[in-house]
Amino acid sequence: MVNIGIIGFGTVGTGTARILLGNKDIISQRIGFEINLKRIADLDIKKDRGIRLPEGILTKNADDVLNDPEIDIVVELIGGIRPAKDFILKAIRNKKHVVTANKALLATEGNEIFSEAEKNEVDVGFEASVAGGIPIIKIIKEGLVANKVLAVYGIINGTSNYILTKMTDDKVEFSEALKEAQRLGYAEADPTYDIEGIDSAHKLAILASLSYSIPLSFNEIYKEGITKITAQDIEFAWELGYKIKLLAIAKSLDSKIELRVHPTMIPKDYFISKVDGVFNAIYVQGDAVGDTLYYGRGAGDMPTGSAVVADIVDIGKKIVTSYKLQVTSHEKNSGPQTHISRLNSLLVARHSSLKIKKMEDIEAMYYFRFSAFDKPGVLSRISGVLGEYNISIASVIQKGRRVGEAVPLIVLTHTARERDVIKAIAEIDRLPIVADKTLYIRVEGKEQ
């Protein structure tokens, strides 16, 4: 039997407990031993969570989990940085394995946590930290371990995907779609992490570390959210053959890695364009396997609980195997137990020398929305500046006539360098023919 204790009995804590109790028999039939939910700590132990727990499990004091010598695995599900980090470090120093869904903590403080786990020879499971119920961590760590990863990209924030889907389907503006996401309980009360690309960047830091054997590099990820996208951009994108999605992208090119989160125009016939609502999808391209795609629920009590329990089972199996080896070794009196398998606590075993590319060095196609006065010569002024910076135009849209007033002028480019785009836009935005700041969106897919 393996004993576990949960700290944090909120959305994911409740889902995890429900799965552990409800599917207890199925799980032990599969793995051959029992996972025993011994304690759950939460600040509020009176609240009805709609789940019946055995007597005496609940406690208000996290230390009842952290200091219990019988608990093998501590499951941290409170979220945030402090005290979550203190709890995890205390568990590790008490030689307990840890399972967490806390992507914000791992992305920013994970290097220290994993190194402490290595020192103490315990495991840290984090399947639930990326894409909820999709077992993407196991896929990259195990299923695709034979591959050099060429690219990992996807929709890994359900809230922003819901907002963009709502704006596309119902032709509403960002603020209205956000309100609806909040009403449905998808977005946080303070949705900044979701809509500014920060949550996606937390998850991308973890995926990139596993895929490219680099340290967790959250600070080096370029982050741009969806707040500036208008319903009109979505319509123009559609007209040009694209959908707008908030993508998290990691790509290896010229022995450097691109790490970026931003709204992206994707050809509307690509599968990932069809991933709507709160769903997540991740595309992984390996040199041996080719293209692979994973789709499912990226959040919610039960999908996320499913990933938490998968980690508990994985670590539980190692504990039981290690215990059996110790017994065998003792029975055979074979001296010190040097053959007992060392638990795999490291995020990656050895770091590669791959460097992260500066954002200004990336190349992409671009969509520009200029706010230009409707008068003769405007397009040639703008295209003149683009030409000076080596930016070649693929198509142009200007709708309606409002002589002398500002109208949206849409330009789609061929592949250009981000550094040139930044300079060209700054110059264009200073021209008297332009009424407002230019919006630009990077475009993925084949050149038109």
Closest separation in Å from C-beta 186 to ligand HSE: 6
Q: At a CB cut-off of 8 Å and minimum separation 6, what does 420 contact?
A: 389, 390, 391
Reduced to 3 states (helix: H, G, I; strand: E, B; else coil), residue 179 is: helix
Handedness of CA 276, 282, 287, 290 (dihedral sign): negative
Question: Inter-axis angle of helices 231-239 and 158-170, to 10 degrees?
Answer: 70
Instruction: Answer whether 295's CB lies under 8 Å from 281's CB.
Output: yes
Q: How many residues bind ligand HSE (CB under 6 A)?
A: 8
Is the CB of 196 or the CB of 199 nearer to ligand HSE? 199
Of 36 and 157, CB closest to ligand HSE? 157
Residues at the interface with ligand NDP (CB under 6 A): 7-13, 41-44, 62, 77-79, 83, 101-103, 128, 132, 299-300, 304
Contact between 43 and 77 under an 8 Å Cβ cutoff? The reply is: no
| Identity of the residue, 64 or 176, whose beta carbon is nearer to ligand HSE in the bound complex | 176
CA separation (Å) from 65 to 17, 68, 319, 329? 15, 5, 18, 31
- Report in angstroms how near the CB of residue 232 gets to ligand NDP at its nearest: 32
Q: Identify what 316 binds: ligand NDP, ligand HSE, none; CB under 5 to 8 Å per kind.
A: none
**Residue with Cβ nearer ligand NDP (9 or 370):** 9
Query: Among 38, 96, 166, 203, which one carries the catalytic annotation?
Result: 203
**Residue 157, interface with ligand HSE (CB under 6 A)?**
yes
> Of ligand HSE, ligand NDP, none, which one does residue 159 interact with (CB within 5 to 8 Å by kind)?
ligand HSE
Give Cα separations from 119 to 72, 93, 102, 212 (angstroms): 17, 9, 21, 23
Compute the C-alpha angle 288/294/297, nearest 5°.
160
The binder of ligand HSE chosen from 76, 123, 127, 199 (CB under 6 A)? 199
Stretch in the footprint of ligand HSE (CB under 6 A) among 156-164, 237-245, 399-407, 408-416: 156-164
Whether 355 is catalytic is no
Query: Least CB distance from residue 350 to ligand NDP, whole Å?
Result: 28
Report which DSSP code applies to 142: I
| 3-class secondary structure, 383 | helix
Catalytic residues: 203
Provide the binding-site residues for ligand HSE, judged by CB under 6 A.
132, 157-159, 194, 199, 298-299
